[in-house]
Amino acid sequence: MTEFLNTALTFPTLVYSVLLAFCTVYWLLAATGIVDLDTVDGWLTTDGDTAEPNVVAGMLAKLGLSGVPMMLVLTILSFFGWLITYFVHLFLLQHLPDSLRWIAGAGTLIAALLPGALVTSLLLRPLAAVIARLRPPVPPSVLGRAGAVISPYADAGTGRAHFDDGGAGLILQVRTLPGERLSRGDRVVLIEHLESDNTYRVMSETAFHQQ
């Protein structure tokens, strides 16, 4: 047990240990509803006040993981990165002189990302395909309909809203106009379908009727 802790809590394995601990805390908070899954994904995969996908979203697409929650990808990647780094550290790095161990450790830390990313992609690609199939088709007629924000907030990078379709209702990923931020419960109107990431542009119902 002592050897395990010494390896897990020293460089380079420590970096992945901290990342795994962060992911664990995140999932515990998500399970209690304290953090919103879509909000975090919006922060990580879009640029600032625009709805344009960023480098992270591009990397997910290259791995075939578009649509898979970013934090799930990060958790699996962290686990395999930790696993690789731990055993390299245990059987090789800890026997090196300190100065050489730091240099080799930094290289191991980065090198572990490649096999970790490949294994993560292989494991989660089936999930990405299932998510794509389960995504309900939304008829074009929803444009112009009014609904309410149900996520903690909605802005140009993240948000969800509920719209009455005469049945069970629709819960859609929505994005506001750049610079606009709406709170939970605010009334919005669908004005545009953003095909690049299958989200919908909305504006406040008040502003819509003032046009």
Is-contact 120 71, C-beta < 8 A? no
Q: What pLDDT was estimated at residue 45?
A: 54
> Does one domain contain both 105 and 34?
yes
User: Which of residues 84, 108, 134 is at a domain's end?
Assistant: 134
> Does one domain contain both 195 and 159?
yes
Using a pLDDT cut of 70, give the percent of the chain over it: 82
Helix axes 13-32, 70-91, angle to 10 degrees: 150
Q: Is the pLDDT of residue 51 over 50?
A: no
Query: In whole angstroms, what separates CA 138 from the centre of its chain?
Result: 23
User: Which of residues 134, 165, 197 is at a domain's end?
Assistant: 134
Confidence of residue 50 (pLDDT cuts 50, 70, 90): very low
> Does one domain contain both 106 and 184?
no
Query: In whole angstroms, what separates CA 2 from the centre of its chain?
Result: 34
> Does one domain contain both 152 and 130?
no
Please tell me the total count of domains within the chain.
2
Residue numbers of the domain that contains 180: 140-210
**What is this structure's pTM?**
0.65
User: Which of residues 134, 162, 191 is at a domain's end?
Assistant: 134
